Amino acid sequence: MNKDYYAIIMAGGIGSRFWPISRTSHPKQFIDILGTGKTLIQNTYERFLKVCPKENIYIVTNDNYLDLVKKQLPDMAEQQILTEPVMRNTAPCIAYGCYKIESINPNASIVVAPSDHLILDEAAFITAIEKSLKIASSNQCLITLGIKPSRPDTGYGYIQYTDSILDEDFHKVKTFTEKPTLDIAKTFIQSGDFLWNAGIFIWSADAILKAFSRYLPEMSEIFAEARPMYNSDNEKNHIHRTYLQCTNISIDYGIMEKADNVYVLPSEFGWSDLGTWASIYQLAEKDYVGNVVIPSEKVIMYDSSNCMVNVPGEKLVVLQGLHDYIVVESNNTLLICPRDQEQNVKQVVADVKNKFGAKYI
């Protein structure tokens, strides 16, 4: 296993679209949302153990989730868990992880990935990551993985690529487009040169630090100046003070959309970002009328079809005449809504917070 390979797992989100199961105090990456016996972050961590040494895996998360990470990933040393005092989107958390790794190993090649994605074909995923790390280690490029789209999905970002190729498989990126309308998504699919943006990045420490210096110089300065603090007793206090100065910006908008050395590897490994209940419904095993029930011990359904039901195992639930609905109960909260209106859940969460405070959020 290559000792210059590193992984950064981003685990700071709150997963509000999976409310009420995902809460601010216990978000979806720490939940066994698929009923597999392991949480999403545990699956992600175990996946990267096949790519790099375990001491080379870092988690970046909110300080509120430090104990959750320690409990669910007990093999991780505390210095491998990097905490943010506030949410500032993906650019600052990636900068923190990459500058810290570079201070340990300037020859590092790094993969950055979310903690809450599903990968069905793990072997294909590992092959894509290792191929990308190898290319990143010998080229000044920023690599992202693009998923070959199976449908015109409006919930994903899209990457358009050109015929300019690096090492046979990596295409030069032309444009990034965030969550298009359905008509535009259909056009993208028909054109044949668009991929879904998986939000997985691979680069050398040198290449990404140069990109931060060029495109986000103020953020670069914050984490470059922290070099004497990394891996010391003062690291956390220093980072928590300076983190507040960071701009709230994504790595896509801050760097990837601006850089001229971005390449995409078209990939197929059974990927889903598990962003909504619809994505869980699509992936889960269904009964003969299309219902998904997790867990299913005490749920009885009459004349009901195509429903997504997730309720506590000890709760007896009887549904009659319900079609194409989401029924979710957790934390003394019951959500019932049509499956085609689940995009409103984020607004529901905001309304609940305004009306009842943070108790139910």
The per-residue pLDDT for range 221-230, each reduced to its tens digit, is 999 999 999 9
Percent of the chain with pLDDT strictly greater than 90: 72
Please give the average per-residue pLDDT across 57-82, as a whole number: 96
Query: What pLDDT does 115 receive?
Result: 95
Please check the confidence at residue 215 and state whether its pLDDT lies above 80.
yes
Beta strands 170-177 and 109-114 are unpaired
Q: Where are the domains of the chain?
A: 5-272, 277-360
Locate 68 and state its tokens: 């959750």
- The pLDDT confidence band at residue 130, using thresholds 50, 70 and 90, is very high
* AA letter at 293: V
Mean pLDDT, to the nearest integer, of 64-88?
A: 95
pLDDT of 43 over the 90 cut: yes
Helix (H, G, I), strand (E, B) or coil at 150: coil
- 205-215 vs 90-104: helix crossing angle, rounded to 10: 130
Q: What is the CATH code for 5-272?
A: 3.90.550.10
* pLDDT value at residue 312: 86
Phi (first) and psi of residue 304, to 5 degrees: -130, 145
**pLDDT over 70 for what percent of the chain?**
100
Cβ-proximal residues to 248 (8 Å cutoff; 6+ apart), any chain: 87, 88, 89
Q: How far apart are CA 193 and CA 180, in angstroms?
A: 15
Three-state SS at 297? coil
Q: Give dist(CA 238, CA 137) in Å, integer.
A: 30
* pLDDT number for residue 190: 85
Residue 160 has pLDDT above 80, yes or no: yes
- Euclidean distance between CA atoms 103 and 336, whole angstroms: 49
Q: Tell me, what's the pLDDT at 266?
A: 94
